[in-house]
Amino acid sequence: MSKTRSKIVSDINKNLNKYYKDYNKNFNYGITLSEPSYDEKEAKAILKNFLNGNISQGKNVKLFEKNFSKNIGCKYGIATNSGSSANLLALTALKNIYKLKNDDEVIIPASTFATVAMPIIQIGLKPVYVDIDLETLNLSIKELKKAITKRTKVIMPVHTLGMPADMKAIIKIAKNKKILVFEDCCEAHGASIDKKKVGSFGIISAFSFFVAHNITTGEGGMILTNNRKIYDECLSLREFGRINQNKLHSKRYYSDKKIKNYDKRYVFTKIGYNVRMTDLQASVGVIQTKKMDKLNKLRAFNAKFLDNLIKKNLNKSFITTKYIKNYFNSRYTFPLIIKKNCKYSRKSICNFLEKNKIQTRPMMGGCLPDQPGLRFEKGRSVGKLKISRYIKDNCFFVGVHPLVRKEQMIRMVKLLKKFLNE
Ligand SMILES: Cc1ncc(COP(=O)(O)O)c(C=O)c1O
């Protein structure tokens, strides 16, 4: 780089330091649902890689995959452009490798995000909707047992809003019945059971780095696995279905009956996608991974503080999710479940909070088989999905991200106490 350009970059970097020093000064009394926990490090990484031309998938993606998979406790990582793509790729890999047939069943919680169910349908498998537990908002083990048939090939627990699903029970059931376990960890980076992080229990797992999530690359996702075959399959599926690129440099040319000495980069061995992450995003992911465990502790601290406040002050109106010994809930957001005898609807409570600059959201997909885009699609519901339907109408969540302060949570609870006459 020329002296002039080096000087310009150095000046920009100095200004970025100043920018982020000033960033957090103004106290905002409202609560946002999420904020990226960025500082000058992420901004500098983007600038450096942009100026160096590292803009599509490259060395930063490899480094992000290595560091993130190590943090979670898995051997291989495959970065993607979103958590939804990670789910699509992971399910396709399982279908290809384990030769699943169309209409084979994948068990999922009924109350979760839409792209847990959608990729299952997109690749010809069938989602089986199972109710959740009110205490954890996760897959009910009792209902899961009822759901299993000869066609059950995959159990796909979701660690809802950072709360680990009961992986010991799920793995035990799956092992006995020879069913694959695919963990959707899109909302649960760094959550753990007995210090073992979610995403390292099943044969494969998926994460999202969308802007609202515990660590973020803007958009982004990652698949983790310890299984070499699954890893190779995912790499190929991620890039147009082309021949395993790990072997690219050992033997550059491919030949068979119909293709002779053809550059391996252009040999496609299966039907694939292009769902790659860019190096710009991955450069941010590398820095975010380093911060992840610390950021999660701040979330857990905020959640505990808010949980205590709610238990003390709003006990007549709300239930909060359970604390389980040796479970670390990484608190993507904080759910409030409205009690049956509360006179106020979710709509009125959320409108009140929003007017006071406290952002809220319902439990995402609510009860998935009730969604307009899913209700006429392939799928089977187990039982009446009573809790999922209750949650669909009576639950919302608020932010407890690292930038939320105690004063803001105290203000929110005071406002609610007055509004709800508690
Ligand atoms: C459980 C779950 N799975 C999958 C996704 C999809 O992730 P993305 O938004 O990165 O596509 C989300 C999104 O928040 C989610 O909550």
Task: Write out pLDDT tens, residues 175-203.
Answer: 999 999 999 999 999 999 999 999 999 99
CA distance 373 to 274: 24
End-to-end CA, the chain: 65
3-state secondary structure (DSSP) of residue 92: helix
Q: What pLDDT sits at residue 325?
A: 97
Residue 232: count other Cβ atoms within 10 Å of its Cβ.
18
Q: Which of 85, 187, 213, 219 to mutate to test the pocket of ligand 1 (most atoms within 8 A of CB)?
A: 187
Ligand 1 centre from 67 Cα, in Å? 21
Contact 397, 161 (CB under 8 A): yes
* Residue 225 CB–ligand 1 contact under 6 Å: no
Q: Considering just the CA atoms, what is the radius of gyration of the chain in Å?
A: 23
Per-residue pLDDT tens digits for 342-380: 999 999 999 999 999 999 999 999 999 999 999 999 999
pLDDT in tens, 13-49: 999 999 988 876 665 789 999 999 999 999 999 999 9
Strands lying side by side in the sheet with 105-109? 76-80, 221-225, 204-208, 180-184, 152-155, 105-109, 126-130, 380-381
What average pLDDT does the structure give for the chain?
96
Please tell me the residue having the least CA distance from ligand 1 atom 10. Answer: 83
Question: What pLDDT does 29 receive?
Answer: 82
- Our mutation pick for probing the ligand 1 site, out of 33, 81, 84, counting the most ligand atoms within 8 A of Cβ, is 84
Q: What is the mean pLDDT of residues 135-155?
A: 98
CB 33 less than 6 A from any atom of ligand 1:
no
Report the 10 Å Cβ neighbour count for 198. Answer: 31
- How crowded is residue 336: how many other Cβ atoms within 10 Å of its Cβ? 23
pLDDT value of residue 119: 98
Percent of the chain exceeding pLDDT 90 equals 93
For residue 220, the ligand 1 atom closest to its alpha carbon is 10
Neighbours of 418 (CB within 10 A): 10
Q: For the chain, where do the domains classified as CATH 3.90.1150.10 start and end?
A: 292-420
Q: Is the CB of 207 under 6 A from ligand 1?
A: no
The confidence score (pLDDT) of residue 407 equals 95
Q: Which pLDDT score is estimated for 349?
A: 98
Q: Which atom of ligand 1 is nearest to the CA of 219?
A: 10
363 CA to centre of ligand 1 in angstroms: 13
Report the percentage of the chain scoring pLDDT > 70: 98
Ligand 1 atom with least separation from CA of 82: 10
- What spacing in Å lies between the alpha carbon of 368 and ligand 1's midpoint? 14
Q: In whole angstroms, give the CA distance from residue 129 to residue 112.
A: 10
Q: Looking at the domain 40-284, which fold is it?
A: Aspartate Aminotransferase; domain 2 (3.40.640)
251 vs 259, higher pLDDT: 259
Superfamily for 292-420?
Aspartate Aminotransferase, domain 1 (3.90.1150.10)
Asked if 191 contacts 162 with a C-beta cutoff of 8 angstroms, the reply is yes
Averaged pLDDT for residues 306-320: 98
Q: How far is the CA of 65 from the centre of ligand 1 (A)?
A: 18
Which pLDDT belongs to residue 247? 64
What is the per-residue pLDDT across 274-298, written as a single tens digit (0 to 9) for each?
A: 999 999 999 999 999 999 999 999 9
Ligand 1 mean position, distance from CA 84 (Å) = 6
State how far the Cα of 279 lies from the Cα of 238, in Å rounded to an integer: 15
Query: What is residue 135's predicted lDDT score, i.e. its pLDDT?
Result: 98
* pLDDT at position 249: 60
**110, 296 Cβ separation under 8 angstroms:** no
Residues 109-131, mean pLDDT to the nearest whole number: 98
The per-residue pLDDT for 22 is 83
Residue 129, pLDDT above cutoff 90 = yes
How does pLDDT run across 371-411, given as a tens digit for each residue? 999 999 999 999 999 999 999 999 999 999 999 999 999 99
* pLDDT confidence bin for 248, thresholds 50/70/90: low
Ligand 1 lined by 84 (C-beta under 6 Å): yes
Residues of the chain with CATH 3.40.640.10: 40-284
Least confident piece of the model among 59-63, 163-167, 252-256, 317-321: 252-256
Type and span of the H or E element at 168: helix 167-177
- Give residue 407 CA to ligand 1 midpoint distance, Å: 30
Whether residue 252 has pLDDT greater than 90: no
- Going from the C-alpha of 88 to that of each of 94, 118, 206, 272, the distances in angstroms are 10, 8, 10, 11
At 212-246, the pLDDT tens digits run 999 999 999 999 999 999 999 999 999 999 998 76
| 8 Å CB contact between 309 and 334 | no
Q: Is the CB of 112 under 6 A from ligand 1?
A: yes
